[in-house]
Amino acid sequence: MQVIKNIFPLLNQPKQVVITMHQKPDGDAMGSTLALFHFLNKLGHSCTVISPTNWASFLNWMPGCDKVLDYESQGNKSDIIIADADWIFCLDFNILSRAKRMEEKLKSAKAHRILIDHHREPQTEVFEYGNSDIEKSSTAEMVYDFIVDSGNIEKIDTSIGACLYAGVMTDTGSFRFPSTKASVHKMVAELMTRGLEHSPVHEALFDNFLENRFRFIGHALLNKLEVFYEYNTALITITQADLLKFNIKTGDTEGLVNYALSIQGIKLAVVIIDRGEERKSSFRSKDGFDVNTFARRYFNGGGHFNAAGGFNKESLEEVLLKFKEAIKENKSQLSTYQF
Ligand code: 5GP
Ligand code: MN
């Protein structure tokens, strides 16, 4: 993988560009791809953003979101665009399998694949160019760097600003995680100088849920939360019946894992959701517990040191057994807090 600045001299030659992100895109995945979309369009490229799957409706306010293709429902159209592309930007994921059913098309495309991402252990051999940096708060911050480093800061407008802000704000837990370096605040100051209004972004993302989601969270915390004090671990298990009962849609479960992590003394918080086709897990940790390694070892996943995810094809019962074995195996690292 060559350093990304090697494509800067090529940015003034109009290209067919596909920009994609991980399945079930979150604020950073959608915000960073749409910011890059607006930026590259301004430079004269012809861009299409393709999401491997659908996304949470609380992302729909983002400028350009109405033009994003959903590979699950618009696969044929997407395949033609992917096959014709000169460049495919892969944002906020670093192994092609996270693009799910799009993976094979991304692999066989004639385009150069370009990585911009901040997760651990990238599959660097499949990217011609890229920037992979686990120190970065968000992929949105990296897209900002891409714009600035290529000498185009003046191209940042309110659309790009809102998308970048949504990405960096959601991935830093509203600027609270240790990844929130001075560079993050400097970037936000620059976006505000260029017209960003931050309050509407918070409202659009966090004050837009339906009543059923809160009833569901109440149910999950009251009935589905287990605390394993011996392991400083909290687990929330969600069945398909729970999802159906509360009419849970993509995005409604986001943030649930943080309630479990905010219990005093908890080092590892986990949500396991039976989505039917697979069992999806979310891991969050505090202190020195590495959930990237934990998710990779037991749950076919990965991510960051303190936030990771995974998926299993086994039944929910089997995944729960595996989880209980896994915390036993990691007991010496987990059991350091005295309740
Ligand atoms: P979440 O729990 O919010 O789904 O994901 C937490 C972090 O782990 C995010 O940065 C996300 O991109 C990453 N992640 C989630 N699921 C997976 C997975 O199955 N594989 C890998 N490699 N990363 C994941
Ligand atoms: Mn991210």
pLDDT tens sequence across 31-61: 999 999 999 999 999 999 999 999 999 999 9
Between 168 and 288, name the one with better pLDDT.
Answer: 168
| Nearest-angstrom CA–CA distance, 235 and 265 | 14
Q: What integer best gives the mean pLDDT of the chain? A: 97
Q: What is the DSSP code (8-state) at residue 47?
A: E
What's the mean pLDDT in 296-316?
96
Task: Identify which ligand lies nearest to the alpha carbon of 172.
Answer: 2
Does residue 225 carry a pLDDT above 80?
yes
Domain count, the chain: 2
* Confidence at residue 338, expressed as pLDDT on a 0 to 100 scale: 61
User: By the 8 A CB rule, do 199 and 232 touch?
Assistant: no
- Only one residue has tokens 């009833």, namely 215
Does residue 339 carry a pLDDT above 90?
no
Between 247 and 338, name the one with better pLDDT.
Answer: 247
| Same domain? 154 vs 216 | no
Q: Angle at which helices 182-193 and 139-149 pack, to 10 degrees?
A: 60
| Same domain? 217 vs 118 | no
| Same domain? 124 vs 251 | no
Q: Which residues of 141-156 are buried (b: 16+ CB within 10 A; e: fewer)?
A: bbbbbbbeebeeeebb
| Same domain? 150 vs 18 | yes
φ, ψ at 336 (rounded to 5°): -110, -5
CATH number, residue 225: 3.10.310.30
pLDDT band at 336 (very low <50, low <70, confident <90, very high): confident
| Same domain? 145 vs 196 | yes
What's the mean pLDDT in 116-142?
97
Q: Domain end: 206, 228, 256, which one? A: 206
**pLDDT per residue as tens digits for the range 198-222:** 999 999 999 999 999 999 999 999 9
Mutate to test the pocket of ligand 1, among 32, 98, 123 (most ligand atoms within 8 A of CB): 98
Q: Domain end: 184, 206, 228, which one? A: 206
List, chain by chain if needed, residues with CB within 6 Å of any ligand 1 atom: 22, 95, 98, 119, 282, 301-304, 307-311
| Nearest-angstrom CA–CA distance, 146 and 186 | 15
285 inside domain? yes
| Same domain? 159 vs 129 | yes
| Same domain? 290 vs 163 | no
| Same domain? 200 vs 284 | no
| Same domain? 150 vs 234 | no
Write out the residue range of the structural domain in which residue 297 sits. Answer: 211-334
pLDDT band at 287 (very low <50, low <70, confident <90, very high): confident
Mutate to test the pocket of ligand 1, among 282, 300, 311 (most ligand atoms within 8 A of CB): 282
Does residue 78 carry a pLDDT above 90?
yes
Q: Domain end: 187, 206, 225, which one? A: 206
Please report the atom of ligand 1 found closest to the CA of residue 254.
3
339 inside domain? no
| Same domain? 144 vs 228 | no
pLDDT band at 149 (very low <50, low <70, confident <90, very high): very high
